[in-house]
Amino acid sequence: MTMDKCGLCEKASVLKISHLMPKGLYKTVTKTFEPHDGAPVWISKSQRSACYTNKQITKKLLCGVCEDLFNKHGEKYVMQQCIKNANRFELKKILDGVSPSVKVDNNYYFHPDDCADLKSDKYLYFITSIAWRVTSTDWGNDDIKRLHGALPQEFVKSIKSYLLGETDFPKNIYITVCVDNDIDPIPFMSLPSDELAEVMHLSVFIPGVKFNIFFGEKADENVSFHFNKLATNILFMYRSFRGSCEFKEMRRLLSSEIRSGPQWLDR
């Protein structure tokens, strides 16, 4: 069997087929609300097209040991906590049982100390692993191609050490976890999108949750000031997806720019 260098630990190994976005998310999207569909709707801005497809973004990237690190330190837990069906949204259930203790610019946030039943370290690891995956290699997808190599080396080095369990979470990376509080939430996910060239910010959706990750104190000085003052790298908050600019942009794309076509289905 062919031995290659693992993208994370850099040891020679037989590499596994790694998923950019966890495999379980696709099943969650298609099975969350009735009527159930066999495949999610895939919208590509670069291709200006939309279709039903089960195609997932994969490549040989990690050894079995590193794949297991990603699973047990983040993916398994977070996948259980996002929207699973119309009546099961474990993360929201936990937050509904406590009161937010932080107010910043008229927004209320849940500090990890507010939520004894919430394993915030799993969320830190999960989103950091996604950020590392999308910036560490070319996944062969036009919508995220620009993210390959977009992180400065200072962050690449500290993130890899953290993911391998060699160091603590980097002190100059900040994460907000936005929880959809709509009455009828949408089982939506996205590939990572970014403003890394301008403000060192990356965002990702999974069903019911949006992650924002800010790299460095200057990415958003208001964010870094309050996070440092609160002695945390992660805060949780409620927000409406249907009322967000992202949802409005998706509707605009669907109505004005996106077209379906067999060339996209055949890819």
Q: Where are the domains of the chain?
A: 67-248
Report yes or no on whether pTM surpasses 0.85: yes
pLDDT of residue 202: 93
**Contact 214/77 with Cβ under 8 angstroms?**
no
pLDDT of residue 162: 98
pLDDT of residue 30: 84
pLDDT category of residue 50 using cuts at 50, 70 and 90: low
Residue 264 has pLDDT above 50, yes or no: no
Average pLDDT of the chain is 88
pLDDT category of residue 262 using cuts at 50, 70 and 90: very low
The share of the chain scoring above pLDDT 90, in percent, equals 66
pLDDT of residue 265: 34
Give mean pLDDT, residues 104-112. 93
Give mean pLDDT, residues 210-235. 95
pLDDT category of residue 257 using cuts at 50, 70 and 90: low
Residue 66 has pLDDT above 80, yes or no: yes
pLDDT of residue 46: 62
The share of the chain scoring above pLDDT 70, in percent, equals 89
Give mean pLDDT, residues 242-247. 82
pLDDT of residue 86: 80
In this predicted model, what pLDDT tens digit does every residue of 167-177 receive, in sequence order? 999 999 999 99
